[in-house]
A = this chain, B = another copy of it.
């Protein structure tokens, strides 16, 4: 996993928030370069970590950015686009894809984050191989430190999931299961029979499109087997409340 390296963080509270965001994303290698507050493993940092104390407990302190990145093969700087350096710039997604490939190959990677107010200094950016810039509202792009770590961590965590572990979208049905098409057809038949009986579908030329629209609507609902049974019950119940089937006219 990538190391998260905070360069001269000013507030212990922010160190704690970063620890929480890191653990949310399965990251535990926190490195601090000259944190301003000496009590970052106790005090406000711990409260702000909301339980991510294992990250704080394992964090290490370094006297310089060079020392903090010494064992890494590839360093990324999270910062707005630098003006005076010719250095590759990547979105979080592209940078993380690159990072994941390097880490899979055994390389050590880390991401530098600067001070809360002023960000990274040029010398730190110069130490980095690639700049990561989060695409944001150009009129309001200053990102809170923990938020910046969150975006990078979120992209990282997505790459660690096995295929299918976080399906893009799915419908969990628990103990029941999606209805089979035969079950749906039976429901349609039941409903349409009753709608014929009560006269809802009495206009012959409109009947086909009305039936089609009802079936479309019920199909879109992705009904489960249990819900189909419930709907059968609802139809029967409504019919009974209406006094039973009307006799054939």
Give me the interface of A with B, judged by CB distance under 8 Å.
17, 20-21, 23-26, 50-52, 81, 83-84, 86-91, 93-95, 98, 130, 134-137, 140-144, 146-147, 150-151, 154, 157-158, 161, 165-174, 176, 222, 224, 227
Please, how many angstroms separate the alpha-carbon atoms of A134 and B154 in the complex?
Answer: 9
17 A-B residue pairs with Cβ-Cβ distance under 8 Å, sorted by A, are A21-B144, A25-B136, A26-B136, A50-B142, A50-B144, A51-B142, A86-B176, A86-B227, A89-B172, A90-B170, A93-B158, A94-B168, A135-B157, A135-B161, A137-B157, A144-B146, A147-B150
Chain B minimum-CB-distance residue to A98: B169
Q: Which B-chain residue is minimally distant from A131 (CB atoms)? A: B172
Cα-based distance from A23 to B142 in the complex (angstroms): 10
Q: Is the pair A168, B91 in contact by a Cβ cutoff of 8 Å? A: yes
A86 touches B169 (CB 8 A): no
Minimum CB–CB distance for A77 against chain B, Å:
14
**A144 CB to nearest chain B CB (Å):** 7
How far is A26 from B172 in the complex, measured between Cα atoms in Å? 32
Cα–Cα distance between A89 and B168 once the two chains are bound (Å): 8
- Taking A24-B147, A86-B176, A95-B169 as known contacts, 5 extra A-B pairs with beta carbons closer than 8 A to each other, sorted by chain A number, are A24-B136, A91-B168, A93-B168, A135-B157, A135-B158
Please judge, given known A-B contacts A20-B144, A24-B143, whether A86 and B171 are in contact too, CB under 8 Å. yes
Q: Which residues of B contact A161 (CB under 8 A)?
A: 135
Residues in B whose Cβ lies below 8 Å from that of A176: 86
Q: How far is the CA of A172 from the CA of B151 in the complex (A)?
A: 23
Which 7 residue pairs are nearest across A and B when measured between Cβ atoms? A94-B168, A135-B166, A90-B169, A26-B137, A94-B169, A23-B140, A147-B150
Closest-by-CB residue of B relative to A90 is B169
Q: In the complex, how many angstroms separate the beta carbon of A136 from the nearest chain B beta carbon?
A: 5
Among residues of B, the one whose C-beta sits closest to the C-beta of A86 is B173
- Residues on B with beta carbons closer than 8 Å to the beta carbon of A84: 174
Name the B residues within 8 Å of A134 (CB-CB): 154
CB-CB nearest in chain B for A176: B86
In the complex, residue of chain B having the shortest beta-carbon distance to the beta carbon of A20: B144
Q: Which residues of B contact A154 (CB under 8 A)?
A: 134, 136, 151, 154
Known: A157-B135, A158-B135. A147 touches B87 (CB 8 A): no
Given A147-B150, A150-B151, A224-B86: A137 and B24 within 8 A (CB)? yes
